[in-house]
Amino acid sequence: MRPPEPYARAAVPAVPGVLGAAEVLATARSIEHAQEPSGAVRWPDGHVDVWDHIECAMALSAAGLSGPARRAYDWLRRSQRADGSWPRTFVDGAVTDPAAESNHAAYAAVGVWHELQVSGDGEFAEAMWPTVRRAVGSVLGMQAPGGEIAWERDAQGVLADYALLTGCSSIHQGLRCAVALADYVGEFAHVVACHPESFADKSRYSMDWYYPVLGGAVRGAAGAERLAAGWETFVVPGLGVRCVSDHSWVTGAESCELVLALDAVGQHAAAAALFADVQHLRDRAGGYWTGWQFANRQHYPAEQSAWTAAAVILAADALSGSTGGAGIFREPCVGAVTARAAGPQSAPDPSGCGCPAGSPGGSPGGRAGAFEHP
């Protein structure tokens, strides 16, 4: 899914010869007439359910009634329960059926993504993201081992022992929209790019240097700055990339992943030169040695690893553009940090990024371990 273009109010929908714009607007007014002062949009019998409420909010927005649409989303945000779900029904603001339907919660993401597409209002999307995130958490908590998601959690908290095809189909759309929203708001990308204190300190490893660029969280000028900041620490001219900064050991996989990261920020000449440098690890039979201990002048470890060969081929594809997958590491997430310094040694500035002062961007429970090639 693509992010929205800058907002420009489109015409009210119309289908020539069938339904004119004025008629569509009149229909939208009938939805507005069913809206309560709270913002909830009710059924003819007076009850409100979240799925139909969201559908009405989407229609109001599409017809240009942005005020009523935003009141509907404000009600959606305020009426959500702490666990991310909504009661099945309300009447006059009171809960009349506390059971939670999975498709109700998932549809929040569809509504918010739709509103972003219609209005181009990023502030709205960011404000609604916590609501969507909690809703998706509640939905995924109802998933069965086979992948299907239970229709409901009853008032006693017991999951239904069956799933509905229609409901799960709607949930599938909701999850797709939630992923698109997560990409748009860039919450995870921000933590990766700007809050190194949220992670275990593995700055000795080259992967912690270039992976924020390779993974798409840091791109543009910020990506180039990050790679430049660690270049002398990790790159051994003519040989490749050190796996660990204080070891006399270059490795093929890290070198070729850096090739991909350089390619992703447009440094194609540097990427091609590094790719050529690492060819000393190639064996005549076609495999690649995992690494080279240049102080002792021997291959270490004494093995030719499949993942090293794989990194070589992926780097070759990126440089040559031979397959449809050549650019997979090139496309950044929508929320990527592109314009601020994000070097490996840079300290985050909570006052600059809007995060609470003195509060890390992640949880202590997520700080154990590090990713590195064996």
DSSP codes joined into one string, 248-285: SEEEHHHHHHHHHHHHHTT-HHHHHHHHHHGGGGB-TT
Range with the lowest mean pLDDT among 126-140, 175-189, 216-230, 303-317?
175-189
Check if the beta carbon of residue 292 is closer than 8 Å to that of residue 281: yes
- Same domain, residue pair 227 and 162: no
Question: Pairing between strand 249-251 and 240-242?
Answer: antiparallel
Report residue 173 as tokens.
């759309």
- Same domain, residue pair 172 and 233: no
Cα–Cα distances (Å) from 287 to 188, 240, 293, in that order, read 36, 17, 18
- Same domain, residue pair 89 and 212: no
Let me know if residue 4 belongs to a domain.
no
Does the pLDDT of residue 240 top 90, yes or no?
A: yes
- Same domain, residue pair 258 and 118: no
Let me know if residue 122 belongs to a domain.
yes
Predicted local confidence at residue 362, as pLDDT = 47
Let me know if residue 8 belongs to a domain.
no
Label residue 52 exposed, middle or buried (CB < 10 Å: 0-12, 13-18, 19+). middle
Let me know if residue 326 belongs to a domain.
yes
- Same domain, residue pair 156 and 218: no
Last residue of a domain, one of 154, 185, 216: 185
Residues 264-291: tens digit of each pLDDT: 999 999 999 999 999 999 999 999 999 9
How many separate domains does the chain show?
2
- Same domain, residue pair 67 and 128: yes
CATH number, domain with residue 64 = 1.50.10.10
- Strand ranges in the chain using DSSP code E only, listed in sequence order: 47-48, 89-91, 94-97, 100-101, 152-153, 235-236, 240-242, 249-251, 291-293, 298-299
The whole domain housing 357 covers: 196-366
- Same domain, residue pair 170 and 213: no
For residues 133 and 108, give the distance between their C-alpha atoms in angstroms, rounded to a whole number: 10
368 or 268, higher pLDDT: 268
Percent of the chain past pLDDT 90, that is, above it, reads: 79
Cα–Cα distances (Å) from 237 to 181, 260, 274, 294, 297, in that order, read 42, 18, 8, 12, 15
Last residue of a domain, one of 159, 185, 211: 185
- Same domain, residue pair 170 and 208: no
What is the rounded average pLDDT of the residues 20-37? 96
Check if the beta carbon of residue 343 is closer than 8 Å to that of residue 213: no
- Same domain, residue pair 216 and 153: no
Let me know if residue 218 belongs to a domain.
yes
Confidence at 175, pLDDT banded by 50, 70, 90: very high
Last residue of a domain, one of 158, 185, 212: 185
Confidence at 245, pLDDT banded by 50, 70, 90: very high
For residues 57 and 68, give the distance between their C-alpha atoms in angstroms, rounded to a whole number: 8
- Same domain, residue pair 270 and 180: no
DSSP-assigned letters across all residues of 214-231? HTTSB-HHHHHHHHHHHH
- The one-letter code for the residue type at 76 is L
What is the rounded average pLDDT of the residues 56-68? 96
| φ, ψ for residue 291, nearest 5 deg | -160, 175
- Same domain, residue pair 154 and 217: no
Does the pLDDT of residue 156 top 80, yes or no?
A: yes
